[in-house]
Amino acid sequence: MSLEEDYDDEAADLYRKWLGRVQGFLINMGCDQGLAEEIADDAFLGARRRWGHVRTLEAPEGYVFKIARNERSKRQKPHDSRAKDLHPDPPAVLRDVDHGALGVADRAIVRRALQQLPVRQREAVTLRDAIGLSEAGTAEIMEVSVGAVKRYTFEGRQSLRLQLAEFRPRRGGKDQ
């Protein structure tokens, strides 16, 4: 087997392992399913083009996230400032949802709440809490300091808690 084929196999393994999370990141950042798939595939192909370097990294998936983040930003930046208009406030939209259906609607509620956050906070919360990356890994992808990641994550969580308070199950009993 040639070196190129070895590299292809290694890249495909990384793809299999991380595709779901890279796509999840892009969707949480506001991409629709089709765009998320397209950007994720391109990001993995980009990593393959630099595989000689990427394979030596401690966390090669970080490189993929970086390209994906940059591409999303390039293609969607004009929409970032009006994300709130595109994804209205979750309580306003979902206040009338039958609370028995909330289990099904959970993802939609949390995702809509995420869309209300400023881009940096959304990135930090998604990478740290949704994807489960370390603070250092997130800082590397976002190209900011670890301290900044902590701050963005803290502020993002706080804002999400406020937004989602209405949907929190009440203690010791049924939903309202």
Partner 1 sequence: MTEDEELLISSLRMLGDTALGDAELDRRVNKFKGALRRLRDDPVEAARIDALVTDAELLEMKRASDSDKVQDWPRQASGGGMMISHAWPSARQGPAQTAAAGHATRVAALSLADVSTAPDVSEFRDFYLSDYQGVVRFLMRTGASLGAAEDAAQEAFTEAWRRIRQGTWADIINQKTWVRMVALNAYRHPPGPPQVPAWPVPNLPDYEGQHGDSHDDLTSQTSLVLDALRSLPYDLQVVVALRMEGFPASVSATYLGITEQKARNLLKRARKILAPQLEELTTPERRRDRDR
**Interface ranges with partner 1 (CB under 8 A):** 4, 8, 11-12, 15-16, 19-21, 23-25, 27-28, 36-37, 41-42, 44-46, 48-50, 53, 57, 66-67, 70-71, 74, 106-107, 110-111, 114, 125-126, 129-132, 143, 157, 160-161, 164, 168
Q: How far is the CB of 47 from partner 1 (least distance, A)?
A: 8
Q: How far is CA 87 from CA 31, 53, 80, 116, in A?
A: 12, 39, 11, 7
Q: Closer to partner 1 at the Cβ: 50 or 79?
A: 50
Q: Closer to partner 1 at the Cβ: 27 or 83?
A: 27
Of residues 91, 81, 168, the one with CA closest to residue 122: 81
| The dihedral sign for the CA sequence 127, 134, 66, 155 | positive
Q: How far is the CB of 119 from partner 1 (least distance, A)?
A: 15
Question: Can you give the length of the chain in residues?
Answer: 176
Residue 36 in 3-state DSSP? Answer: helix
Q: Closer to partner 1 at the Cβ: 94 or 160?
A: 160
Q: How far is the CB of 82 from partner 1 (least distance, A)?
A: 21
Residue 87: count other Cβ atoms within 10 Å of its Cβ: 16
The tokens describing 20, both together, are 């779901």
CA Rg, the chain, in Å? 18
Q: Closer to partner 1 at the Cβ: 86 or 168?
A: 168
The tokens describing 87, both together, are 């994804």
Q: How far is the CB of 107 from partner 1 (least distance, A)?
A: 6
Q: How far is the CB of 130 from partner 1 (least distance, A)?
A: 4
